[in-house]
Amino acid sequence: MTKLKTTLLALLIGANALAQEKITITQNVQYDEHKSCVLDVAQPVSNDKSLRPAIIIVHGGGWSAGDKRDGVYTNLLVDYAMKGYVTFSVNYRLTREADMPACIEDVERSVAWVKAHAKEYGVDPNRIGSFGHSAGGHLSLMLGVKNLVTCAVGGAPPTEIGNHNNPWDKHPEWWPIGHIKKETSPILILQGSEDPIVRPNLTDDFVEKMHKAGNKVEYIKVKGQHNVAFDYALEVTRPAMDAFFARHLKMEEPQYSWTQMKVPDGGGSGPFRAVALKEKTLPDFVVYRPLDMAGAVRRNGKLPILLFANGGCMDTSVGYERMLTEIASHGYVVVAIGEMQVYQFDRPEKSTPASLMQQALKWIVTQASLKGSDYCDMVDTDKIAAAGHSCGGAQVLFNASEPRLKTYLILNAGMGTMEMAGASKKNLEELHAPIIYMTGGPGDVAYNNAKQDYANIGKVPAVWADNAKAGHGGTYNQPFGGAFAKMAIDWLDLQLKGKTANADYFKQSNEHFAEWTIESKK
């Protein structure tokens, strides 16, 4: 193939302040002796001669098809060059030309070639990342697990062949699952929850094993199929990629308010795709919110706020993320105690003081009027609720006197005659807004205490809803948070969004909540 060099004048569009005015593209550079081993290079044109980070882009196609010239990969080549990276898009020997593991070896050689020619292309050899989709995702992750690149991104990546009848299954060294060890390069995986080609359960298993080995893996599972991160759900996956590469290759803060993203349960079943974020200015909490808050506000007005405290008074909401994502997908911003986790127990966990609910409240109220904040003019600080599970319910009651709270949700919790998290039955006297207790039947250890609390409350409207089969663990880990999430959303819609049609659901047992026994009093 003939080496071709062109210059592309990039139009600066509005807010894309990271774009370069001009980039140079060099096509079909041979990086190895095999005819197929060619790459394209896109370089920012600038008077700044400092070395730049690089990204190697690897096309997909089942290892037997595909090309670096495919539109998606050409767009990535140009786009990341405009963001200040030197980008390389590589071809490799397909399986119809050479058997596995030739493609793995070729992509590894492309990295070695980039490092060897780093000075020529203005690349910092210590800041090279990789991206690939599908088969390219597999090849990109292989670079990461072998520590050949600084960081690696895989979209819908096969982490193992997953077919014991396939001869490739006999070679674990050809797959990321065969290289789980401590201190691989940081990895970001983008996976469709309904992918029929790369089974999500295999990706789940790989990520969990990587975390147990102590590796840094960010995992975003989005509702969708195999084309997630390729031509679908880009509103989620591209910002995540941009932030990941900026952190690990540019050594600078990304142009986002958050430092880590998750999409639990595919973003929820509500009208707004929801995400979980670790915010820069609130690192010890997780914010669950619609991804497109502006769109949600246009449709529903400013978003109500829910503060959430966890069972055991622990510093993690990972066990509740399906329910909290579901609530957020119906147009709420949830601020939950505890630093983000990809999986439960992927870091040490500890108990927390009830005062953290006040910290969450102060942060979101500040953000609501802070110019430049993602939350400015997006959240309604006159519509704030507090919810907590088990010990977290006690933390809510400890803060019962907070005047800005408009309702309380006490989940599988109650004080009775006991004291917990600094709260006792005396805090019931401080209630000033409607309250709902949700329990899981006589087998729920909080059942009797919740029942006593309900009997003792006389100043505010109160509801006791019991789901006899749920137990103390509720339904929080069921898809979309199960029955507890459904009731919580209807209660919040009644109390914070003024959906008065919901009021009848909470007066007594009814068909709408067929699984529940409901009592109420004004």
Is residue 311 within 8 A of residue 363, CB to CB? The reply is no
> Could you say which DSSP state residue 101 is in?
T
* Both tokens assigned to 373: 């904040």
Report the alpha-carbon distance of residue 392 to residue 402 in Å, rounded: 16
Is residue 16 within 8 A of residue 92, CB to CB? The reply is no
Residues 6 or more apart whose CB falls under 8 angstroms from that of 109 comprise 31, 32, 37
How many helices (H) does the chain have, and how many strands (E)? 12, 19
Number of Cβ within a 10 Å radius of residue 300: 16
Taken in order of first residue, the domains within the chain and their CATH numbers are 4-256 (3.40.50.1820), 259-521 (3.40.50.1820)
> Could you say which DSSP state residue 313 is in?
G
Element spanning 405, H or E: strand 405-411
Sheet with 258-262, edge to edge strand ranges? 258-262, 274-279, 282-290, 333-337, 303-309, 379-389, 405-411, 435-439, 462-466, 517-521
- pLDDT by residue for the chain (522 residues), tens digit each? 344 444 443 333 333 434 445 899 999 999 999 999 999 999 998 878 889 999 999 999 999 999 999 888 999 999 999 999 999 999 999 999 999 999 999 999 999 999 999 999 999 999 999 999 999 999 999 999 999 999 999 999 999 998 888 889 899 999 999 999 888 999 999 999 889 999 999 999 999 999 989 898 999 988 888 888 777 778 888 889 998 999 899 876 667 888 889 999 989 999 999 999 999 999 999 999 999 999 999 999 999 999 999 999 999 999 999 999 999 999 999 999 999 988 777 888 999 999 999 999 999 999 999 999 999 999 999 999 999 999 999 999 999 999 999 999 999 999 999 999 999 999 999 999 999 999 999 999 999 999 999 999 999 999 999 999 999 999 999 999 999 999 999 999 999 999 999 999 999 999 999 999 999 998
pTM: 0.83
Is residue 389 within 8 A of residue 412, CB to CB? The reply is yes
